[in-house]
Amino acid sequence: MRAIDLPLRLTAFTCPVDAEGRVLMVRHERLGVVRWELPGGHVELGESAAEAAVRETVEETGVLVTPGRVMADCLHRWRGRSVEIVYFEATPQSSAELRTTDARISAVAWLDPAELVADEVSGLGWPVLQHVAAGNRSLLHLEASHHQTAAGWEPLITASRLCESDVS
């Protein structure tokens, strides 16, 4: 049976960083695998990517953010689906109590990216966190698929490059 190509979906995530350099993250379950990841999700009809990133961040963490520039993007292809993912720099606008409305999220926390290890973070979020921790200002372009691990099906980065001309 031949795989079909479904329409491209767009998802948007934020990378909120507080004054102490900690990143706002959620402990999320996807395909049976639980990992730390940046807050975000699918863009709804009539919504911009930035609006979706802010909405999803509030829903998943309780924290209102102001989105900045796009710091990374990823074309994620798996099982005939293509998802374009954009990651926005974000500034927290509130010190609200951390909370979630998503049953797949078991924790919300401000985490020091230097204290995280790759096995604890989604394969899609890990290179973005490394990019932030390195203080990189160039645009990070990623391509990804999925692969089977002992934990289950997880994202796998298949290509990565920096685009210096996109620096703002």
Tens-place pLDDT, residues 83-102: 899 999 999 997 778 999 88
* 117 belongs to a structural domain: yes
Q: What is the pLDDT of residue 167?
A: 46
* 2 belongs to a structural domain: no
* 126 belongs to a structural domain: yes
pTM of the model: 0.88
Of 60, 56, 43, the residue nearest 9 (C-alpha): 43
Tens-place pLDDT, residues 118-134: 999 999 999 999 998 88
What's the pLDDT band for 151 if we cut at 50, 70, 90? confident
What's the pLDDT band for 79 if we cut at 50, 70, 90? confident
Q: What is the pLDDT of residue 112?
A: 95
* 99 belongs to a structural domain: yes
* 78 belongs to a structural domain: yes
How many domains does the structure of the chain reveal?
Answer: 1
Tokens of 18: 């507080």
Query: What rounded mean pLDDT belongs to the chain?
Result: 89
* 35 belongs to a structural domain: yes
* 4 belongs to a structural domain: no
What's the pLDDT band for 9 if we cut at 50, 70, 90? confident
Containing structural domain, residue 65: 9-166
* 81 belongs to a structural domain: yes
CA dihedral sign, ordered 57, 132, 113, 155? positive
The mean per-residue pLDDT over the stretch 91-120 comes to: 91
Tens-place pLDDT, residues 40-60: 999 999 999 999 999 999 999
Specify the CATH number for the domain of residue 94. Answer: 3.90.79.10
